[in-house]
Amino acid sequence: MSDTLTRTDRAAAPARSTRLDPVTFEVLKNAFATSVDLMSEQILRTCYSFVIYSRDFSSALCDARGNTVMQGSGDIAVHVGTLHFQAKAVIEQFEGDIHPGDVFAINDPYRGGTHFNDVSFVRPVFSQGRIIAFAQNKGHWADIGGNVPGSFDVSASEHFGEGLRIPPVRVWSKGVFLHDVAQLLVANTRAPEQALGDLHAQSEATAVCEREVLRLVERYGTETVELAMQETQDYVERTVRRRLADLPQGRWETVDYLDLDPGKPEGLVPVKIVMTLDGEGIHYDLEGSADVVDTFLNSGYGTTFSAIYAGTKTFFPDVPLNSGFYAAVTAEIGPEGTVVNAGWPHAVTGFCSGPYEKLMNGIFEIWSQIMPERAMACAFNLEYLLVGGRDSRREENPYFMWYDWMAGGWGGRSSKDGSTATAPVFGVGLAVQACEGQERLTPVLTTMHRIGTDSGGPGRFRGGCGVEKGGTLTDADASVMSYCCDRARSITWGIEGGLPSIPHGVWLNRDTDNERFLGSIFSSVPVQPGDTFYRPSAGGGGFGDPLDRSPEEVLEDVIDDYVSVERAEADYGVVVIPVDPDLDAYELDRERTAERRAYIRAHRRAWLEEDPARIAEQYRAGEIDLLDVIRRHGVILDWGTGELFSETTRQHRQQMIRRSASHWSS
């Protein structure tokens, strides 16, 4: 689908003067926000899906044409800029046949949706016999059927086995609940009662918004409310355009990568971004991005636009989100068949770990040059580990799903270190689950959940630290494990001379004879009771040259064990002598620090050019450390076997020279 169709098709009139008085406008604008936030508050308190409960949901009030007037203030980033597509899909499908008391469901990623798990409920709001708005709530159902529990089928390359696809369908008709349709939907999931619970809860939440809008109509009149919906969009568009007036004009570009396309030889998969500021608007062009990959890490047009809006919004944090924003930010996402505009029937469920965050981080990198005071290096990659099977702790042997995602590190910034153990950029409201809750519900015992020492990318401002989580499967039958992530090879990068962090990836039975590195994306690996698994989330990339970080700051990191004594020397050239670690007593050896830093400075460019095959050999022989392979030599291997990926290494080194080495002082 091309951008001309996906762009908001509103008759924008940004220059039109406002017709509402300032108080009424302010009251209504805030009341719209309230009506949407109330919807969110209700869904949070009535939902069944633990994924929704962890804040993977969003709410919006759309106008009669489906354009978004207000999106929930606590909404997950990934849904940003997709709700209007779905309201429009309902209008397209049912125009002329929409009635008071109707509620529609839709989850179709080929009509601007996110992925099948994200089911939207859309309720028309009527006044004076006409539609004046649509209230919408979108929430991530824990399961939507398909081949694997949780409906994240990593091996899918087409959508047919992934889960239930719901084009716009009516679930309530003039206030009457359509049991048959609802049953058809929920019977295709692994937990029909839960799904039915969420179906009711979400639909009722949209009624809360309807009630609020009608209260406003009663007080201010239909026309005033309609006018305020339009002016709220105009206001946002005007705000963005005025901000642009103070920014330079020009063209910026970058490229970020997915790890691999299993349908092709090894090599990173490019997501290319060009951005132009012309004083009128913000324009993106994704030409040059790779063809669809042979996994489900593709993005449909809805989520590609979402990434573009969310990435841009990060640099305009105080501007509210609605279709006015989408009017000021445009994109040419190219023809269907690419990793950023996959199209039917390519699998796109894993977009969130794939192109989505590559786009967001790439956009961060571009804007970091335009607004250095908001600059930020790359953040860790969104990841989901799924263990599903039968829970033999209970007689009924029910299905269980241990569906887990981690916090991780965000990139170093131009004035401070990156944020440690933070929710993914895909949704900073996405709460990690309490281990105690998971242990009640599933036969998985968490053995550790802690910050990863040395996981933050070194820099003048260190990347935030990632997290490590380990678990053991206890009383379970017929269980399999799947993982949806990326950046085991396209390592989380630094900027302005900062260094990369660490690779993502899952280890099975680590430090035993059965140890296996399963990588960052795999499907349905059988697991037995007693099996242990471990995975880190990456830290953020570093910002600025690590040799410019003061030894005192490095020492503080060592005391807190964010950085080990060994990496303090290897990454920062800072020599720390433990005196009595029990009492936090360490000393800086300033003389050796100066020597060490001079040595690194003299050799680091050459290290990046050493023969990758030799580095791989040394890694396999246990002579050098994984972090040296990545941070010092820019070489990418299979971290389990030590096999060299030559093309991947070539690409990785190229970006590392651009982002890191070219900024180092000699």
Partner 1 sequence: MSNVRVAVDVGGTFTDVCIFDDDTQQMRITKVPSTPSDPMEAVMHGVERGEIDLAQVAQFSHGTTVATNALITRNFPAAALVTTRGFRDVLEIRDGTKDDLWDAYNDVSEPYIRRRDRFEVTERIDYNGNTITALDEDEARALADLLKRRGVKTIAVCFLNSYANAAHETRMREIIEETIPDATVSTSAEVLPEIFEYPRFNTAVANAVLAPLVSGYVNRLASRLTEGGYRGDLLLLHSGGGSMTPRLVEKFPVRLAASGIAAGAISAKHIAQQCGYDNAVSLDMGGTSTDIALVADGELRVSQEWQVEYGHPIIFPSIEVLTIGAGGGSLAHIDIAGSLRNGPQSAGADPGPACYGTGGTQPTNTDANVVLGRLGTSLAGGAKHLEKSLAEEAIRATIAEPLGMDLEEAAHAIVAVANANMADAVRLVSIRRGYDPRDFALLAFGGAGALHGADVARELGIPTVVVPPSPGVTSAMGCLLVDIQHDFAHMYTGLASGADEEGIEQEFVALENEASARLRHEGVADEDGLLQRKISMRYQGQWRSLQVPMGSGPGALEQAVRTFHEQYEREFAFRQDDAPVEVYQLHLTAVGKIPKPSFRPAEVVEQKPGEPEDRRRVYFGSDGWLDTPVYERDALAAGTAFSGPAIITQLDSTTVVPPHTNAEIDEWLNIRIHLEEISS
Query: Contacts with partner 1 in 184-223 (CB under 8 A)?
Result: 191, 193-194, 197, 200, 204, 207-208, 211-212, 215, 219
CB neighbours of 18 closer than 8 A, spacing ≥ 6? 25, 231, 234, 235
Q: Are 538 and 493 in contact (CB under 8 A)?
A: no
Which is closer to partner 1, CB of 448 or CB of 577? 448
As given in the structure block, the two tokens for residue 273 are 């971004």
The correct pick among 16, 130, 179, 416 for binding partner 1 (CB under 8 A) is: 416
Footprint of partner 1 on 2-21 (CB under 8 A): none
Q: Are 615 and 630 in contact (CB under 8 A)?
A: no
As given in the structure block, the two tokens for residue 167 are 């084009």
Report, in Å, the least distance between residue 313 CB and partner 1.
Answer: 6
Report, in Å, the least distance between residue 536 CB and partner 1.
Answer: 13
The correct pick among 13, 187, 434, 577 for binding partner 1 (CB under 8 A) is: 434
Footprint of partner 1 on 129-188 (CB under 8 A): none
Q: Is 45 in the site for partner 1 (CB under 8 A)?
A: yes
Report, in Å, the least distance between residue 150 CB and partner 1.
Answer: 16
Which is closer to partner 1, CB of 389 or CB of 409? 409
CB neighbours of 509 closer than 8 A, spacing ≥ 6? 515, 516, 531, 532, 533
The correct pick among 1, 31, 269, 378 for binding partner 1 (CB under 8 A) is: 31
Q: Is 34 in the site for partner 1 (CB under 8 A)?
A: yes
Q: Is 559 in the site for partner 1 (CB under 8 A)?
A: yes
Q: Are 56 and 92 in contact (CB under 8 A)?
A: no
Q: Is 50 in the site for partner 1 (CB under 8 A)?
A: yes
In the chain, what's the furthest Cα-to-Cα distance?
A: 82
Instruction: Using DSSP bridges, classify how beta strands 130-140 and 282-285 pair: parallel, antiparallel or unpaired.
Output: unpaired
Q: Is 561 in the site for partner 1 (CB under 8 A)?
A: yes
CA dist 412 and 664 (Å) reads 16
Which is closer to partner 1, CB of 264 or CB of 416? 416
CB neighbours of 514 closer than 8 A, spacing ≥ 6? 508
CA dist 422 and 450 (Å) reads 12
Q: Is 410 in the site for partner 1 (CB under 8 A)?
A: yes
Q: Is 407 in the site for partner 1 (CB under 8 A)?
A: yes
Footprint of partner 1 on 289-348 (CB under 8 A): 313-314, 317-318
Q: Residues in contact with partner 1, total (CB under 8 A)?
A: 79
The correct pick among 12, 14, 18, 27 for binding partner 1 (CB under 8 A) is: 27
Report, in Å, the least distance between residue 280 CB and partner 1.
Answer: 23
Which is closer to partner 1, CB of 71 or CB of 323? 71
Q: Are 386 and 481 in contact (CB under 8 A)?
A: yes
Q: Is 422 in the site for partner 1 (CB under 8 A)?
A: yes
The correct pick among 21, 95, 174, 440 for binding partner 1 (CB under 8 A) is: 440
Q: Is 283 in the site for partner 1 (CB under 8 A)?
A: no
The correct pick among 167, 270, 343, 470 for binding partner 1 (CB under 8 A) is: 470
The correct pick among 12, 38, 247, 277 for binding partner 1 (CB under 8 A) is: 38
Report, in Å, the least distance between residue 197 CB and partner 1.
Answer: 6
Q: Is 53 in the site for partner 1 (CB under 8 A)?
A: yes
For 565-590, letters b (16+ CB in 10 Å) and e give bebbbbbbbbbbeeeeeeeeebebee
CA dist 236 and 242 (Å) reads 10
From the list 30-38, 145-153, 163-171, 483-491, the region that binds partner 1 by CB under 8 A is 30-38
From the list 264-272, 332-340, 553-561, 607-615, the region that binds partner 1 by CB under 8 A is 553-561
Segment holding 169, helix H or strand E? strand 169-173
Q: Is 566 in the site for partner 1 (CB under 8 A)?
A: no
Give the burial class of 436: count Cβ atoms within 10 A of its Cβ; 0-12 exposed, 13-18 middle, 19 or more buried. Answer: exposed
What ranges in 451-589 are assigned the alpha helix state H? 551-559, 565-572
The correct pick among 3, 6, 37, 56 for binding partner 1 (CB under 8 A) is: 37
CA dist 277 and 571 (Å) reads 37
Which is closer to partner 1, CB of 437 or CB of 578? 437
Which is closer to partner 1, CB of 16 or CB of 450? 450
Nearest to 466 by CA among 336, 378, 385: 378
The identity of residue 661, as a single letter, is A
**One symbol per residue from 352 to 371: x for binding partner 1 (CB under 8 A), - otherwise; what is it?**
------------x-------
Q: Are 411 and 377 in contact (CB under 8 A)?
A: yes
Which is closer to partner 1, CB of 191 or CB of 340? 191
Report, in Å, the least distance between residue 88 CB and partner 1.
Answer: 25
Instruction: Using DSSP bridges, classify how beta strands 476-484 and 384-391 pair: parallel, antiparallel or unpaired.
Output: antiparallel
Residue 257: what are its φ and ψ, rounded to 5°?
A: -130, 145
From the list 225-233, 237-245, 405-413, 596-604, the region that binds partner 1 by CB under 8 A is 405-413
The identity of residue 329, as a single letter, is V
Q: Are 375 and 541 in contact (CB under 8 A)?
A: no
Angle at the Cα of 588 from the Cα atoms of 583 and 591, rounded to 5 degrees: 160
Nearest to 545 by CA among 586, 480, 490, 600: 600
Residue 62 pairs in a beta bridge with 68, 134
Report, in Å, the least distance between residue 7 CB and partner 1.
Answer: 22
Which is closer to partner 1, CB of 147 or CB of 446? 446
Residue 160: what are its φ and ψ, rounded to 5°?
A: -60, -35
Report, in Å, the least distance between residue 433 CB and partner 1.
Answer: 8
The correct pick among 583, 606, 621, 665 for binding partner 1 (CB under 8 A) is: 583
* Residue with the two structure tokens 């033999």: 392
As given in the structure block, the two tokens for residue 361 are 């981080």
Q: Is 643 in the site for partner 1 (CB under 8 A)?
A: no
Footprint of partner 1 on 58-87 (CB under 8 A): 73-75, 77
Q: Is 413 in the site for partner 1 (CB under 8 A)?
A: yes
Report, in Å, the least distance between residue 510 CB and partner 1.
Answer: 14
Which is closer to partner 1, CB of 374 or CB of 516? 374
Report, in Å, the least distance between residue 316 CB and partner 1.
Answer: 8
Report, in Å, the least distance between residue 434 CB and partner 1.
Answer: 4
Q: Is 423 in the site for partner 1 (CB under 8 A)?
A: yes
Q: Are 120 and 102 in contact (CB under 8 A)?
A: no
Residue 517 pairs in a beta bridge with 507
Q: Is 648 in the site for partner 1 (CB under 8 A)?
A: no
Q: Is 582 in the site for partner 1 (CB under 8 A)?
A: yes
For 23-54, letters b (16+ CB in 10 Å) and e give eebebbbebbbbbbbbbbbbbbebbbbbbbbb
CA dist 337 and 379 (Å) reads 27
Report, in Å, the least distance between residue 449 CB and partner 1.
Answer: 6
Which is closer to partner 1, CB of 55 or CB of 489? 55
CA dist 319 and 322 (Å) reads 9
